[in-house]
Copies of this chain bind each other. A is one copy, B any other.
Amino acid sequence: MKRFTKMEYESPDEMCFGFAKHPVKTRNGLEVGAGYVNPIIKVAPKEGSENSKESMVSECRNIAISACQRAVNIGLPSFILEQEHIAQQTANPDWAGECTQAQVEVLEHFQDEYGIKTALKATPADIRDEEKGSTYRTSEQYQNVMESIEQCCENGASIICIETTGGKSVSDYGISRGDPRALLFGIGVLGSIDMEFMWTEIVKICDKHNVIPGGDTNCSQSNTAMFLAGGLLDKDCSHTFAAIARGIGAANSLVAVECGAKGPLKDCGYENPIVKAISGVPIATEGKNAVCAHSDLMGNLIAGICDCWSNESVYHREEMGGTTPEVWLQATGFEAALMNTSIETGKHKDLRDLYTLTDKYRDPQALILAYDNAYRIGEAIVEYGDDPYRRSIAAALEVCNIITEAVEAKKMQLTRFEQDSLESAMRSFKKLPDDSAKFIKRANRRYGRKVEDFDPKNYELN
C-alpha cells in the first residue's frame, strides 16, 4: 500500500469544484472531477419497505424513476443516484443485487431514451457490530458485507462506497466525554487499521468487476461529533473538539484512497476537502441542499471544492413540489448547474471563494475545512504520512493552530467552552509519545477498561 507522503496539489488555489487531479469515468460515460459537477440524489427507503425483498426492490426502482423523470423535465445533463443500503439489504446480499439491478435498469432506460448521463452509486451497510461481538474480520456479518458488494458490482452499480465503523466504540466514548486521546485512538489508530483491512478487500472485488471503488467516510466518528455539536447554541459537544475530530478523520478516510479507492468519496465525509488536497481524488460533499437531513454550519463552504453535490438523505414521500426524489434532485441539480456555469465562464474560482468565505468564520468546524486550511491540514498529514498515528496527531494539532490563529487575528470568536476544550486538547496532544506502539499499548489498556464494547482483537492488537 502506498501511503501519501506528499501533496498531489501544488497549492490550495489549484483546487476547485468540478476538477480533480484524478478524475474517474463510469462505464456509461459519466465523468467525475473532469470539469463539471454532478448532482447526487439520495433517498431513504420508506418505512415498511424493509419488510420484504419485493417491496425493497420496488421502492428502489421507484426512487430511480422519479429522479430520472425530474432530471429530464428540468434539463439536467447528468446525475448520480446513490442508494445507501439498510441492514436488511446487506444482511441479505440477494436484496442488494436485485435492488441494484432494478435501479440500473431504470437509469439505463432513461439514458437510452434521452441521452442523459446517469450512474448508480451503491453503498452497502457496514453491519458488523462490536457490541454484539460480531467480529470485524471473520463474522457472518463481515462476509455479508463483502458478498453484498460483490452483488452490487455484478448487477451494474457504477461506483461502490461504504461507511466503515472501525474504532467507533472508542471514539463515541471520546466524543461524549470530550476526551482527545480517545478521539485519536478511535479515529486515527483503530479506524485506520480497520479501514485498511476493509478497503484492501473491497478494491479487489471492484477491480474484478471493473467497477469504480468510490470511497469511505469518517461518518461514524467525525460526523457523530459534528451532529452532537449541533448548532451554535447547542451544548452537547464543543465545536472546536468536533473540528479536531474532523482533522483526524481526514487522516482516517485517506486510508481508503491509499488502498485504491478512486472517488468520488462519500458525500457525508466533511473531511473530504482535506483528502482531496492530499490525494487528488474526486469527492462528493453535501451542505446547504442537505438541510432536509441535517443542519450544518458550512452549507456553502463545503461546496467549494466538491466534484459531486448531494442532498445527504430525505424521507421518501410527497412535498407540494413533487415527491422527494424529484424535489431534492432539483435542489442539488440546480446548485450543480450554478457551479458548472461558473466553470464554463471561467469564474469558478470566484464562486469557490464566495462559497468558502460565506461560512469560513461561521464556526471552527467550517474554518478548518476552508480549502486553504484544508490544504494546510493535508500538509501536516503527509509530513507524517507513513504513520497513521503520528499523522493523526499532526492533523489535530494543525486544526488547533488554524483555529488559534484565527482567534488571535480576531476573525474567529469562540465561547469559553470551545476555547477551553481547544486548549486542553492541544495540551494533551503535545504530551503524547512519538512512538505509536507505546501509545497503542497504553490506549489499549485504558480504553479496554473504560469502553465495554471495544475489542482489540478486531484490530489485531492483541
Contacts and interface: CB of A to CB of B under 8 A. Distances in A.
Contacts of A254: none
B300 A232 contact: no
Given A319-B314, A320-B294, A354-B351, A300 B234 contact: no
B358 A354 contact: no
Given A232-B73, A338-B358, A357-B341, A295 B322 contact: yes
A75 to B, nearest CB: 6
Interface string A330-344: 110011011011100
Interface stretch (A46-54, A136-144, A285-293, A389-397): A285-293
15 contacts: A74-B231, A74-B232, A291-B319, A291-B328, A291-B330, A292-B321, A292-B327, A293-B321, A295-B322, A295-B326, A295-B330, A300-B337, A338-B358, A342-B354, A351-B354
A72 interface: yes
Interface string A214-255: 000000000000000011111000000000000000000000
Contacts of A70: 231, 295
A399 interface: no
A354 B341 contact: yes
A305 to B, nearest CB: 16
Contact of A350 (B234, B288, B313, B350): B350
Shortest 6 CB-CB distances between A and B: which pairs?
A73-B231, A288-B334, A299-B334, A341-B358, A291-B327, A291-B330
Contacts of A362: 74-75
A306 to B, nearest CB: 15
A320 B326 contact: no
B232 A72 contact: yes
A415 interface: no
A347 interface: yes
State the number of copies, please. Answer: 2
Interface string A307-330: 000000111000111100011101
A270 to B, nearest CB: 15
A355 interface: yes
A347 B231 CA distance: 29
Nearest to A329: B291
Interface in A30-84: 70, 72-75
A291 B345 contact: no
A294 to B, nearest CB: 5
A422 interface: no
A297 interface: yes
A349 to B, nearest CB: 11
A287 B337 CA distance: 13
B341 A321 contact: no
A278 B354 CA distance: 30
A345 B357 contact: yes
A356 B432 CA distance: 54
Contacts of A338: 300, 354-355, 358
